[in-house]
Amino acid sequence: MRGEKASVAWTADDARFMSLALSLADEAKGTTFPNPAVGAVIVKDGKVVGKGATSRCGGPHAERNALTEAGDRARGAALYVTLEPCCHFGKTAPCTDAIIRAGLRSVVASAKDPNPLVNGKGLRSLGKAGIAVRTGLFEREATRLNEDFFFWITRRRPWVSVKLAMTLDGKIADLYGDSKWITSVDSRAFVHDLRRKHAAVCIGRKTLEKDNPRLTVRHGKTGNPARIVFSGKASAPPNSYFVRDAGETSRSILVVHGGRGRSRRTLASGVEVWRTGREESLREFLHAAYEEGIPSVLVEGGGMLASAFLEGGLANRLYVFYANKILGGGAAGFAFARPLSLLECVKIDQMEVVRFANDIMITGIPVRR
Amino acid sequence: MRGEKASVAWTADDARFMSLALSLADEAKGTTFPNPAVGAVIVKDGKVVGKGATSRCGGPHAERNALTEAGDRARGAALYVTLEPCCHFGKTAPCTDAIIRAGLRSVVASAKDPNPLVNGKGLRSLGKAGIAVRTGLFEREATRLNEDFFFWITRRRPWVSVKLAMTLDGKIADLYGDSKWITSVDSRAFVHDLRRKHAAVCIGRKTLEKDNPRLTVRHGKTGNPARIVFSGKASAPPNSYFVRDAGETSRSILVVHGGRGRSRRTLASGVEVWRTGREESLREFLHAAYEEGIPSVLVEGGGMLASAFLEGGLANRLYVFYANKILGGGAAGFAFARPLSLLECVKIDQMEVVRFANDIMITGIPVRR
């Protein structure tokens, strides 16, 4: 059909190898900053001869690690990689050079790298070197995996995920204030995985005082996200995990809104205090977080903080867990300072539904008209 | 393995023919009272030679209709039927006799008939006549299809389904009272199908006055469910569809709670007025509906009425549609007179999730501890 791009026919093997690459990338997620999380698999004669993921903190890229594992077997082999290989010098030399030098025969890349320094150039240089290049396999999954990173690079502020767990009637606590445990163990395991994939976890002051949460990653081999508490005062309960473990298992940052000045300093306890002023406090926080090298934050509640990000149009992805429960009253999860009309309400684009035991989770991109 | 029942191995053909029988039953649903909705398919040499569903209002059963269509071809054929064939005289002679007389070779039944007059006896009498009998294929779906009927027979009160459409934050209207249209066209088509499958549709007085709904079944070839309005007064707006079409396209019943007396009478307009008294008004309504031969009702809102049935432990199945929208405030869908604690809340058993375009629907069995 004239004008139509021929669609690539992917084989079951293609899908299998790229799935493996995606799971390598997923495992590395949360540790690769300032690089995106990428996975790479090298296949020769139908067998995996090299696997790699992005190293921690600016170390070798996924392709390099896979090539190292493959050694000489890379010659004539195929590379499956979740993101277009880079073609520019950063902390490491271009991956495209290494791929060409290793004598790979073909490359399948899930997604192009939207970084303006790459953005198709990497694939073109491979093609010019005679390597067969195909793209688009699991593109959506691969792009999704680094959506926070691409946002951070292009928009120069952290990606904000908002997570709430509520009943089917939208309540995050019953009328006695009880919120433990609304959702099931399976959902909570997913939340620990979400934390691992974010650079920081945010809660409100009330949640700190009421729950004294650890905000750690269960079975976390790779360190914990920074803990951020939004507060009206510049001090925190000294016996809280937030203060006691400050700077030890992770950064503890107290974001103080109100007042006039903006400043950042570290207390003797190790707790960092960021003053954001009274106006546009959340935007000011995101600006500070960008400057401090925090590419993504997970807002875990309470409802006030989650609602503030959502109402301010500052939430990039929403995760709402619904337990199979109805209270008929209690604390609302989403409560805006100015509730919206049906015509101008927040819509959730690209909504997906996932089942966890007795809970369901919806996730998607909140859009304010 | 000792003590374990050998599991029947169903073939793809078995599944195909029983699916057809289920869809015949589903199509007949809502018109078969006082019989359950059943579908039957007769298969000879791998070909369908007879199809049938329960006739309207006490006419021949599904098996009879399928046998009539099959004629002589039924000899040596297999019957797929969604419910155990009856073995007792009702308005019609036992289906088991007809099956035996027609010379069928085998019978596959999805579910046993829980009616104490049948309850396995039908299948046993077929077995005694030398017919190969198997059960359990799509048992869950078949039982689900007549869950209202089985409840009505054993519990002597109508099955109550409660349906609400809300935003992801549990609101059924925005702060201006606007509720049109929270959910998508696809969801609304499903609701029309739900109405068709219920004997009556219930709304509250406020919904009548605000929306003046028709409460009809779109493309309904088979008549409309009775319309029931819960009201504090014994009169209804004369220009409403509820009054204007009373007794014409369907019954219009005004359930008046409050006052002391209990009574049922019909106004000149054709509207029936049921007075239920002040105490236990909903239970009294269900009692009256049972006496009036209404086996199932769909409570469509508003939130007050839906909540009252749920809080009273009188809802048998819940359908909640969630649109991909967040208002951050507005009218709550579920608001109980006495909100529950997390420990004693309503739980939704057997929860299922269905996707409709931008909406999701959850359905399940509400259970109050």
Residue B20 and residue B40 in contact, taking contact as beta carbons nearer than 8 Å: no
pLDDT tens for residues B237-275? Answer: 999 999 998 887 789 999 998 877 789 999 999 999 999
Please, which residues have CB within 8 angstroms of residue B23's CB and are 6 or more apart in sequence? B39
CA distance A324 to B345: 10
**Chain B closest-CA separation from residue A170 CA (Å):** 5
Average pLDDT over chain B reads 90
Q: How many CB atoms lie within 10 A of CB A144?
A: 16
Q: How many CB atoms lie within 10 A of CB A43?
A: 22
pLDDT tens for residues A63-100? Answer: 999 999 999 999 999 999 999 998 777 777 788 889 99
Give residue A168's pLDDT: 97
Q: With 90 as the cut, is the pLDDT of residue B199 above it?
A: yes
Contacts of A167 in chain B (CB under 8 A): 345
CA distance B146 to A114: 55
**Chain A closest-CA separation from residue B56 CA (Å):** 37
CA distance B250 to A68: 77
Residue B311 and residue B336 in contact, taking contact as beta carbons nearer than 8 Å: yes
CA distance B310 to B304: 10
Give residue B93's pLDDT: 76
Closest Cα to residue A127, out of A165, A95, A96?
A96
Of residues A8 and A287, the one with the higher pLDDT is: A287
Catalytic residue (one of A4, A27, A63, A272)? A63
Interface contact flag, B167 A345, Cβ < 8 Å: yes
CA distance A41 to B245: 69
Number of residue pairs across A and B with CB atoms under 8 Å? 154
CA distance B143 to B147: 6
Q: Rounded to the nearest 5°, which phi and psi values hold at B282?
A: -70, -40
Three-state DSSP at B277 gives: strand
Helices B12-28 & B62-70, crossing angle to 10 degrees? 120
- ipTM score assigned to the predicted complex: 0.90
Interface contact flag, B348 A342, Cβ < 8 Å: no
Three-state DSSP at B171 gives: strand
Interface contact flag, B329 A341, Cβ < 8 Å: no
Mean pLDDT of the B192-203 span: 93
Average pLDDT over chain A reads 90
Give residue B221's pLDDT: 58
Catalytic residue (one of B4, B27, B63, B139)? B63
Q: With 80 as the cut, is the pLDDT of residue A181 above it?
A: no
* Whether residue B284 lies in the annotated active site: no
Using only C-alpha atoms, chain A has a radius of gyration, in whole angstroms, of 23
**pLDDT cut 90: percent of chain B above it:** 70
Banded model confidence at residue A220, pLDDT cuts 50, 70, 90:
low
CA distance B253 to B266: 9
Query: Where is average pLDDT lowest: A41-55, B50-64, B311-325?
Result: B50-64
Give residue B346's pLDDT: 97
Interface contact flag, A328 B349, Cβ < 8 Å: no
Query: Where is average pLDDT lowest: A186-190, A359-363, B273-277?
Result: A186-190
Give residue A186's pLDDT: 84
Q: With 60 as the cut, is the pLDDT of residue B5 above it?
A: no
For B334, which residue in chain A has the nearest alpha carbon? Answer: A328
Give residue A2's pLDDT: 41
Contacts of B311 in chain A (CB under 8 A): 328
Give residue B259's pLDDT: 75
pLDDT tens for residues A31-60? Answer: 888 889 999 999 999 999 999 999 987 788
Contacts of B324 in chain A (CB under 8 A): 347-349, 351, 364
For B180, which residue in chain A has the nearest alpha carbon? Answer: A342
Q: Residue B362 is nearest to which of A168, A311, A345, comparing CB atoms?
A: A168
Interface contact flag, A348 B178, Cβ < 8 Å: no
Give residue A127's pLDDT: 93
Residue A148 and residue A295 in contact, taking contact as beta carbons nearer than 8 Å: yes
For B179, which residue in chain A has the nearest alpha carbon? Answer: A342
**Chain B closest-CA separation from residue A332 CA (Å):** 8
Give residue A261's pLDDT: 79
Neighbour-count burial for A166-180, b at 16+ CB within 10 Å, e otherwise: bbbbbbbbbbeeebe
Give the residue from B168, B172, B182, B365 with the most A CB atoms within 10 Å of its CB, the best one to mutate. Answer: B168
Interface contact flag, B327 A338, Cβ < 8 Å: no
Residue A52 and residue A69 in contact, taking contact as beta carbons nearer than 8 Å: yes
For A164, which residue in chain B has the nearest alpha carbon? Answer: B169
Helices B62-70 & B95-102, crossing angle to 10 degrees? 20
Q: With 50 as the cut, is the pLDDT of residue A6 above it?
A: no
Contacts of A328 in chain B (CB under 8 A): 307, 310-311, 334-336, 338-340, 345-346
Interface contact flag, B346 A326, Cβ < 8 Å: yes
Of residues A289 and A357, the one with the higher pLDDT is: A289
